[in-house]
Amino acid sequence: MNRCLIFLDNDNIQNSIDLLEVANRIYDAKEYETIGISINHLCEDAIGKFDVIIHVNDKNIHDYHQVVITDIVEKLHKEYSFDSILIPATYYGRMFAPRLSMRLHAGLVADVTEIHNDGEKLEMVRPAFNGKIMAGIIKQGEGPIMMSVRQNVFTYTEEQIKKTTIRNYEPNVINKSKMKLLSVQVKSQSLDIRESEVLISGGGGTLEKFDHLDLLAKEMNAQVSASRRIVDSGIASRNIQVGQSGKTVSPKLYIALGISGSTQHIEGLKNVKDIISVNTNRHAPICSLSDMVIEGDAIEFVSKLVNKIKSEKIYNIEEINK
Amino acid sequence: MKIICVVKFVPDVENFIYDYEKNVLVRENVKLILNPDDSCALAFALKMKELNPNNFIEIVSMAPKSAVPLIEDLLRLDVDRGTIISDKSFAGSDTYVTSKILGKYLKSQTFDCLLTGSHAQDGDTSHVPAQLGELLELEQMSGVTKVDLNNFTIAKAIFEVESETIVSTFEIALPAILSIHKDSKYKLPYVKYEDLELDVTHKLNIISDKELGFNKNEVGIEGSLTKVIKTYTKQYDKKSKVVVTNDEDGINEVYTFLKNKGYV
């Protein structure tokens, strides 16, 4: 029986559960068993979806104790001989996966966004060069299939409820970590662009007057997001960046202003219903994905559309008052 | 104290040109730059050296020999030694093998802290820092946005990791690996004008497989555990789009589109 280990990350449980879809694509029609591992939290949402959940309960182990978590999974691997190990590409997952892969001498593919499986070879697809290129990668050597999986890319939709065996696991490993968390400071909360139905997004073409986007966002009750170029130039904070190393967003409407649309950026858009793009180059990659393309300057577009919306509002009010 | 910065030179991807006609990325003539995160790591090390000139900084990079001039440029800053690990047999190594090669050299060295970047802008797997941690039996943390200059000693370091919602402050016993994020905004100084042509060859340390002694099948493509079998620019389903311009008709059309869909 094939055994697939999925690491259940505290940060985003649903996303960890969605990795079941990756297992699905790896094994296709073959029989396989899914084993989830969670550290210090009983993942209730995962019950009924996995065959086994290994629940490690040791209050002395924290996420940042990467060495001891590696020790635990190595021990479990000796017992179960996993055929594949899937780790969500969260902050800790991206540190844990390479450490574990070195320990197990397994080839690791990072930030997988697609699985191509022709029954003979398993191709793991990931973005490279800032998302400008996608690379199809296969594993070599004896170790298990190992990958970290880009967050919020795969969705698990299976309805069938499994009987989950919960195994409370006492690792019996010594945590030799000399790292301490001294303090945690919560940053002032800004709105989450993933929750917005309409996103007004700016790229290089809005570099000069990025703050103008707020005007349109206000009129449309939308939020402002940005491309990597804007964030890297320091104009906007990273928490509003759309793109692979940034975020996956699923608004109903996405207005791309002066964004050419690197693969990375486009990968950050998922299930977006309508896309409007404004670009001086009507052949920019994002334009081919758009329902409507405005060939021209993005900031000029913003001013004109804001005026149009405002004048229509005034017109409507006048109509009502008549 | 001795600080080793493990760095990488990467193609300046921001200046890649995309050929829309052929739908390919033009990769020729792209110049190499020091990876931005690594540059912040080195800049922090130089800051420490400024505070205490006795600190010793070594740069270690696995790179083709053509990177020697780039290393030399860094040696014209206050860097004490530049080690370039280069061998034809290393070409094509994946992250696993790269870590093994770097690890073998680093194991032969003594140091108090290993600094790396957090992300590389070419591959961006972030594998090597954590894999080095495993090989050298050191703890490693990514995404470091600030290191407390007053609490960076032979014994310990205090540093911050900033995520979207929180800033966490950690203390770690050294030696350890700290992987610096470019949001730390540590900036490399410029080479002094009078040092622009400075001869730094005595600081260069070139290491090949002669010194490291790998078996041929352990390195390069043969030793790698992953293999890129193809690269492609992604194809997307094209929509039947409407193209307008910024004139009155265009804006009206956009407005009607938004109105019909209930967005305004």
**Average pLDDT rounded to a whole number, residues A97-106:** 98
CB contact under 8 A, A295 and B243: yes
B155: nearest CA in chain A?
Answer: A178
Count of C-beta atoms within a 10 Å radius of residue A194: 16
Q: How far apart are CA B189 and CA B183, in angstroms?
A: 17
Q: Are A25 and A115 in contact (CB under 8 A)?
A: yes
Q: Looking at residues A39-44, what average pLDDT do you find?
A: 88
pLDDT score of A266 more than 90: no
Of B167, B246, B255, the CB nearest to A296: B246
Q: How far is A38 from chain B (nearest CA, A)?
A: 21
Q: What is the pLDDT of residue B14?
A: 65
- Residue contact B18–A132, C-beta within 8 A: yes
pTM given for the model? 0.82
pLDDT tens profile A115-125:
999 888 999 99
Mean pLDDT rounded to a whole number for chain B = 91
The shortest CB-CB distance from B122 to any of A128, A186, A288 is to A128
Mean pLDDT computed over B153-182: 94
User: Does any CB of chain B come closer than 8 Å to the CB of residue A218?
Assistant: no
Mean local confidence (pLDDT), B38-67: 96
pLDDT of A25 reads 95
pLDDT in the model for residue A163: 95
Q: At A8, is the pLDDT very low, low, confident or very high (cuts 50, 70, 90)?
A: very high
3-state SS, residue B245 = strand
Residue B235 near chain A (CB below 8 Å): no
CB atoms within 10 A of CB B19: 10
Interface with chain A: mutation pick from B14, B94, B100, B139, highest number of A CBs within 10 Å: B139
**Residue B27, pLDDT score:** 60
Provide the pLDDT for residue A88. 96
Question: What is the tens place of the pLDDT at every residue in A9-41?
Answer: 977 789 999 999 999 999 988 999 999 999 998
Q: How far apart are CA B172 and CA A223, in angstroms?
A: 39
Check pLDDT > 90 for residue A320.
Answer: no
**Residue B225, pLDDT score:** 97
Interface residue B263 vs chain A (CB under 8 A):
yes
Cβ of B165 within 8 Å of Cβ of A91? The answer is: no
With an 8 Å Cβ cutoff, are A308 and B255 in contact?
Answer: yes
Phi, psi of A91, rounded to the nearest 5 degrees: -55, -55
Contact B188, B77 (CB under 8 A): yes
Contacts B237 to A, Cβ<8 Å:
289
Strand partners, A84: A4, A145
Question: Is residue A214 within a helix (H) or strand (E), and if so which, with residue range?
Answer: helix A213-220
Residue B20 has pLDDT above 60, yes or no: no
Structure tokens at B169: 């402050």
Q: What is the pLDDT of residue A75?
A: 96
* Cα B30 from chain centre: 17
Instruction: Tell me whether residues B143 and A135 touch, CB distance under 8 A.
Output: no
What letter does residue B65 receive in the DSSP assignment? G
Q: List chain A residues with CB under 8 Å of B171.
A: 179-180, 182
Query: Which is nearest to A202 in space by CA: A252, A261, A247, A147?
Result: A261
Per-residue pLDDT at A120: 85
Which residue of A113, A133, A267, A270 is the best one to mutate when testing the B interface, meaning the one whose CB has the most B CBs within 10 A?
A133
Looking at the complex, report in whole angstroms how far the Cα of residue A219 sits from the nearest Cα belonging to chain B.
8
- Choose among A99, A296, A301: nearest Cβ to B131: A99
Which member of B140, B162, B226 has the closest CB to residue A137?
Answer: B226
Please list every residue in chain B whose beta carbon sits closer than 8 Å to the beta carbon of residue A91. 142-143, 163
Give the gap in angstroms from C-alpha B201 to the nearest C-alpha of chain A. 32
- Is the distance from CB of A142 to CB of B227 less than 8 angstroms? no
Partner residue opposite B124 with nearest CB, options A185, A245, A288: A245
Residue A134 has pLDDT above 90, yes or no: no
Give yes or no for B230 touching A (CB within 8 A): yes
Q: How close, in Å, is residue B182 to chain A by CA atoms?
A: 9
* Structure confidence at residue A54 as a pLDDT band (50, 70, 90): very high
For residue range B192-246, list pLDDT tens digits in order. Answer: 999 999 999 999 999 999 999 999 999 999 999 999 988 877 655 666 788 999 9
Among candidate residues B24, B126, B103, B128, the one with its CA nearest the CA of residue A132: B24
pLDDT at A220 over 60: yes
Comparing CB atoms, the residue among A97, A266, A292 nearest residue B242 is: A292
Q: Does A239 touch chain B (CB under 8 A)?
A: yes
Strand extents, DSSP E, chain A: 2-8, 32-39, 52-56, 84-88, 108-112, 114-117, 122-128, 133-139, 145-149, 165-169, 179-186, 198-202, 223-226, 253-257, 274-279, 292-295
Minimal-distance CA residue of chain A relative to B21: A283
Structure tokens belonging to residue B247: 């004139």
| Residue A270 sits at the chain B interface (C-beta within 8 Å) | no
Å from A18 to nearest chain B CA? 21
Q: A-contacting residues of B 151-210, CB under 8 Å?
A: 158, 162-173, 176, 183
Contacts of A44 (CB under 8 A, 6+ apart): none
Q: Which of residues 23-82 of A touch B (CB under 8 A)?
A: 64, 66-67, 70
B125 touches chain A (CB under 8 A): yes
Q: Is the pLDDT of residue A225 over 60?
A: yes
State which residue of chain B sits closest to A177, comparing Cα positions. B139
